[in-house]
Amino acid sequence: MTTPQVALTGAELLGLFAHFLVLSLLAVGGAITTAPDMHRYMVGEHHWITDAQFTTSIAIAQAAPGPNVLFVAVLGWNVAGPLGALATMSGILLPSTALSIYASRWGTARRETRAVRAFTTGLTPLTIGLLCATGWILAEPYVGEPSHRVGAVGLILASVAGMVRTRMSPMWLVGLGAVVGALGWA
């Protein structure tokens, strides 16, 4: 992992925490669905980390065992070390955890009502759209670079085909991506 590029002030750390606090409430489908806005905030708006550091942070965390939300800690670490990791993780976990506990208790008591069924059904296309946006943000640096374009597009198509047409574990596709990346094809 890289060392933090900048030493954030207390106000900037509070802003980082607050941004992830808001993103937590938008993370329908998991924290990864908010990666495009994390990218906009950390890379585009504040220039705390580079495009490559952002993508690498997510890749490292997704390859590690444990919950998928670990990428948030890696991003925070790359921005501001341990305090950055604390700010991003507590920001992303506090509201969503509290809301999830309340909503699951409320929804369980009313799961057969028309409104609850309609709400849960309506979240499906939203989640798919957010995941597609995240996929684009993560793929764009590689698809946009001519030397990696063919390998990156091939890997994306193979991954989509593998997930849609087979019941293979996604870990095989992660392994394929690692091999393709190690060989410098994507």
The answer on pLDDT for 117 being more than 70 is yes
Q: What is the pLDDT of residue 142?
A: 84
Confidence band of 7 (pLDDT split at 50, 70, 90): confident
The answer on pLDDT for 1 being more than 80 is no
The answer on pLDDT for 4 being more than 90 is no
Q: What is the pLDDT of residue 118?
A: 92
* Longest CA pairwise span in the chain (Å): 55
Q: What is the mean pLDDT of residues 59-82?
A: 91
Distance CA 31, CA 41 (A): 15
Q: Is 44 exposed, middle or buried (0-12, 13-18, 19+ CB in 10 A)?
A: exposed
Residues 6+ apart with CB under 8 A from 48: 5, 6, 8, 42, 79, 80
Q: Is the dihedral of CA 9, 35, 33, 80 positive or negative?
A: negative
